[in-house]
Structure 1
Amino acid sequence: MSWSKLKQQLEGFLSPALKEKVEYRAQGYRYLADKPGICYIMVDNKNVLNMSDKASFIRWYQTELEIKNDPDIQIPVTHDEIEAVRKASKGTVPEDRLIVIARSRKSSEHAKELLSAQASLSKSNFVVVANQFLSTSIEESIESKDIVLNVLALVDRRMGKKRIVNMSEQMKLKHPIVQYFYELRRNTL
């Protein structure tokens, strides 16, 4: 599918509140017709998500330790996760320490997922992911570990107000760029 057709379809799915804010762009190269060039998403005429640019204002993590030490990342811990730590330690660990251990385990898991998602994003082709988005359901796109699929689903008009509001806990565990688009969408409700 040509870029202009793809762009037209993606913009057709944009939420009405975001039509003037969000824009899909591609820098094509005239002599390289088989290459899609650089694709990116702009918000209010600022390049927010560029597949190959790690210098954007969104935080890109380099190590697991950076993610674990980032005060902006809040890792919610459930009662079941605390109980799993209690069972593994056979009840010998103090209660306050159980929460710390459970949060540490979950943050390690979360950090690995974030780094994996970033690595796949830097290698991904926006055109391929956008075509995948157009052929899958919104539920699959929002549940996916692919950052671009998450972003495209969040700005989609098929995501209702109630669903957006009820996703706040789920969004805490997503990459900062996904959280950025979630807040953008939530603020336009």
Structure 2
Amino acid sequence: MSWSKLKQQLESFLSPALIGKVEYRATSYRYAPDKSGNCYITVDQKNILNMSDTSTPIRWYQTEQEIKNDPNILIPVSEDEIEVIRQESKGNIPEDRLHIMARSRKISVHAKALLGAQAALSKSNFTVAATTYLSTSIEDNLESNDILYNVLALMDRRVGKKRILNMSEQIKLKHPAVQYFYELRRRTV
């Protein structure tokens, strides 16, 4: 599918409040047809999500430890998760330490998932991902671990106000890029 047709289809699904605010752009290399161009998403004429540029306002993580130490990532820990650790330790650990251990386990899994999604984003081809997005249900795109699918779905007009407002807890566990576009959409709902 040509870029102009793909762009037209993506923009036809944009939420009405984001039309004119969010744009899909692509650069190509006229004299190097074998080299793929860059695709990116702009908000108010500013390059926000670029597949190959980490200087955007979105935070990109380099290591798992950086994710674990980020105070902005809130990992909810349930009583069941604390109970699992209590059972494994046979009650030899103080109560306040159980919560810390449960959070530590959960954030380790979360850090691996975030870095995996970020690596997949940097290696992915925007046009292929966007074409796949258009042929996949909106629910599958929202539940996906792929950052680009989440971003495209959050800007989609098929995701209504009620669903956007009910997603706040889910979004806290997503990559900062997804959180950025969630906040953008939430402000325009």
Q: TM-score, normalised by structure 2?
A: 0.97
Give SS of 2:188's match.
coil
Equivalence for 1:92:
92
Give SS of 1:48's match.
strand
Could you tell me how far 1:20 is from its partner in structure 2? Answer: 1.7
Equivalence for 1:71:
71
In the alignment, is the contact (CA less than 8 A) between 1:36 and 1:127 conserved in 2?
A: no
Alignment of 1:1-189 (within 5 A): 1-33=1-33, 35-189=35-189
2:138 & 2:31 partners in 1: Cα distance?
A: 36
- Listed as ranges, the gaps of 5+ residues in structure 2 are none
- Listed as ranges, the gaps of 5+ residues in structure 1 are none
In the alignment, is the contact (CA less than 8 A) between 1:77 and 1:102 conserved in 2?
A: yes
Could you tell me how far 1:31 is from its partner in structure 2? Answer: 2.8
1:8 & 1:91 partners in 2: Cα distance?
A: 60
What amino acid does structure 2 have at the position aligned with 1:103? R
1:24 & 1:88 partners in 2: Cα distance?
A: 50
Could you tell me how far 1:33 is from its partner in structure 2? Answer: 3.9
Q: TM-score, normalised by structure 1?
A: 0.97
1:130 & 1:34 partners in 2: Cα distance?
A: 20
Q: How many residues matched? A: 189
Give SS of 2:77's match.
coil
In the alignment, is the contact (CA less than 8 A) between 1:40 and 1:48 conserved in 2?
A: yes
2:73 & 2:13 partners in 1: Cα distance?
A: 30
